[in-house]
A and B are shown apart, each in its own frame.
Chain A
Amino acid sequence: MESLPLKDILFYLVAVVMVATALLTVVVKNILHSAVTLSATFFCTAVLYFLLSAEFLGVAQVMVYIGGVIVFVVFTILLTSRLGEYALEAGKLRKIAAAFFSMIIAVLAVVILRESHSSVALEQSDYATLAVIGKRLLSPGDDGFILPFEAISLLLLISLIGAVSIARVPRDDKNKEAE
């Protein structure tokens, strides 16, 4: 408990940076800048996971989101938009309505969280180490997750094949382009 103040300071720092980069992500005009700030948000989330002592998830967050999803998003942006050539922007009315709607969500959150009473927190620290997660993930027993694990590997395979088959140029179109 002695190290709590430092942890608190770090948490609030990360929270502020996270909210700021998330705001930038949705406000910035250029979609490529938006992807870059999103990667900053994901990095802050990884730091938050470390603060919540979920080391493995922090590492997975960096690897999957920043190393995989963001790169994928950036490639798609580069493939689909002539950079900066056209900026799609919503009208002012829509922006105001959206801001109002998301403000309602934020205010509701504050109200609900103020109503809730917190009992003594557990603050578990060794629940998401590599060894613990690995054992749970692959144990075939009642508390294991071997079946969902295998299902998700199948889902990954299916979605990758699906992505390739959706994004590729159909054969007759290819002939047309060649002509």
Chain B
Amino acid sequence: MTLQACLLLAFLLFAIGVYGILTRRNAIGILISMELMLNAANINFIAFAHFRALDATAGAVFSLFIIAVTACEMAIALAIAIAVYRRHGHLDVDELTELRDPDV
């Protein structure tokens, strides 16, 4: 177990998350993929804290904050998903084009 191995794992997870965000059409699916990417970032933080950092506790605390902010963000995002579903009857992001510039 080396720093490189951990970072490679995090990068792979991030790439998988990117694939999910680009291919999912359900809004909740996009949120789930985003969680994967945030998780990858968190793994990076902990890996650097474990292997490299001068002040490792700060790194751990930082990723604790990331976890908290992610929880907040998920709460808001899922509330928005429920509101969108109530209004449109579906969560297909390809159909949600109200804010798009019609000329483009």
Contact = CB atoms under 8 A, between A and B. Distances in A.
Interface string B1-15: 111111111011111
Nearest to A68: B71
Interface string B69-104: 111111110111111011000111010000000000
Contacts, number: 241
Contacts of A163: 75-76, 78-79
A52 B18 contact: no
30 contacts: A15-B5, A19-B9, A22-B36, A26-B20, A31-B26, A38-B35, A41-B36, A42-B39, A48-B43, A52-B47, A57-B63, A64-B71, A90-B23, A98-B18, A102-B16, A105-B15, A106-B11, A109-B11, A113-B4, A116-B4, A121-B52, A123-B50, A127-B53, A128-B57, A132-B57, A136-B57, A137-B61, A145-B61, A152-B68, A160-B72
B1 A124 contact: no
Contact of B81 (A48, A57, A76): A76
Contacts of B76: 159, 162-163, 166
A118 B57 contact: no
B74 A69 contact: yes
Interface size of B as a range: 35 or more
B23 A95 contact: yes
Q: For the side of the interface on A, what is the size category? A: 35 or more
Consensus secondary structure, chain B interface: helix
A57 B32 contact: no
Interface of A: 4, 7-8, 11-12, 15, 18-19, 22-23, 25-26, 31, 34-35, 38, 41-42, 45, 48-49, 51-54, 56-57, 60-61, 64-65, 68-69, 72-73, 76-77, 79-81, 86, 88-90, 94-95, 97-99, 101-103, 105-106, 109-110, 113, 116, 118, 121-124, 127-128, 132-133, 136-137, 143, 145, 148, 152, 155-156, 158-160, 162-164, 166-167, 169
Interface of B: 1-9, 11-20, 22-26, 28-29, 31-33, 35-36, 39, 42-43, 46-47, 49-53, 55-61, 63-65, 67-76, 78-83, 85-86, 90-92, 94
